[in-house]
């Protein structure tokens, strides 16, 4: 479903400039389209492939998520394809902010990938142990459908949903590239926080119920030391 987002952005980038009579998009526009596409190549293609298994999803949730990605893709795609900045002059004086935004975005993406993989390793390690045990007993290995453990590496020392926090950092960098006046990037970040924060807070309550307050200890839900 997430692939429709970056496909929509690419479609806008390749079709709208001609309709607006633009010979070429400024480098800032191409930069924003590029980092958006890189994120969703990871999220839509690499992430599902790397998952040991995926939980089934309700059709309504799938349709809603796909619709949101299309709307978000049209919003960002239209802005970077010419309905926002149209010339290099529109980006004048913003090089420093763009460079800082790219650094923040890049570290956010890498941290997001690291913490995603840490969660996957919980499932992979359980699968390896089950396979080894099955080989010893001469039986076929059973798949690990559901396995829940407290992740402990990286920012998981401090929060239970470090991958959410890192994604917010990533899109904060994206907003910094476009500037506060980039309404699609600002709306995207606020939507991410608005949808993921309640899940993180309810998820913390679930962790406490399953593992106990002592094991969860002083970990926050999603923002280290704050929330």
* pLDDT tens-digit map of 60-72: 767 887 888 889 9
Domain extent for 179: 93-227
Last residue of a domain, one of 48, 66, 90: 90
User: Hey, how many other C-beta atoms are within 10 angstroms of the C-beta on 162?
Assistant: 26
Same domain, residue pair 79 and 120? no
Same domain, residue pair 84 and 161? no
Q: SS3 for 74?
A: helix
Same domain, residue pair 4 and 57? yes
Classify residue 83 as exposed, middle or buried by CB count within 10 Å of its CB (0-12, 13-18, 19+).
middle
Query: Which pLDDT score, from 0 to 100, does residue 45 have?
Result: 80
Alpha carbon distance 65, 124 (integer Å) = 27
Same domain, residue pair 147 and 193? yes
Same domain, residue pair 136 and 219? yes
Query: Which pLDDT score, from 0 to 100, does residue 149 have?
Result: 80
Same domain, residue pair 163 and 221? yes
Same domain, residue pair 75 and 109? no
Check: CB of residue 44 under 8 Å from CB of residue 3: yes
Same domain, residue pair 133 and 227? yes
What is the model's pTM? 0.87
The beta-strand segments (E) located in 108-174 are none
Same domain, residue pair 58 and 162? no
pLDDT less than 50: residues of the chain = 144
Query: Which pLDDT score, from 0 to 100, does residue 63 have?
Result: 80
Last residue of a domain, one of 42, 73, 90: 90
Query: Which pLDDT score, from 0 to 100, does residue 188 have?
Result: 94
Alpha carbon distance 170, 58 (integer Å) = 28
Same domain, residue pair 101 and 83? no
Same domain, residue pair 120 and 48? no
Query: Which pLDDT score, from 0 to 100, does residue 192 have?
Result: 93
Query: Which pLDDT score, from 0 to 100, does residue 6 have?
Result: 81
Number of domains in the chain: 2
Last residue of a domain, one of 49, 65, 90: 90
Per-residue model confidence as pLDDT tens digits over 30-75: 999 999 999 988 887 887 776 655 555 667 767 887 888 889 999 9
How many residues are there in the chain? 227
Same domain, residue pair 101 and 190? yes
């Amino acid at each position: 479903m997430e692939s429709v987002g970056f496909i929509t952005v690419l479609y806008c980038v390749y079709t709208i400039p001609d309709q607006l009579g633009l010979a070429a998009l400024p480098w800032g526009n191409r930069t924003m389209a590029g980092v958006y596409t890189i994120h969703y190549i990871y999220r839509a293609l690499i992430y599902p492939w790397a998952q040991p298994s995926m939980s089934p999803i309700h059709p309504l949730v799938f349709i809603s998520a796909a619709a949101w990605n299309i709307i978000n893709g049209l919003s960002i795609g239209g802005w970077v394809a010419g309905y926002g900045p149209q010339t290099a002059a529109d980006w004048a004086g913003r090089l420093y902010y763009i460079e800082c935004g790219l650094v923040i975005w890049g570290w956010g993406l890498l941290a997001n990938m690291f913490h995603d993989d840490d969660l996957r390793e919980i499932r992979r390690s359980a699968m390896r142990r089950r396979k080894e045990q099955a080989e010893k007993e001469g039986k076929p290995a059973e798949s690990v459908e559901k396995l829940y453990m407290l992740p402990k590496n990286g920012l998981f020392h401090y929060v239970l949903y470090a991958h959410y926090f890192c994604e917010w950092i990533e899109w904060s960098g994206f907003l910094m590239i476009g500037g506060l006046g980039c309404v699609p990037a600002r709306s995207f970040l606020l939507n991410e926080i608005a949808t993921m924060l309640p899940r993180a807070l309810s998820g913390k309550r679930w962790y406490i119920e399953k593992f106990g307050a002592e094991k969860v200890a002083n970990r926050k839900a999603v923002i280290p030391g704050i929330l």
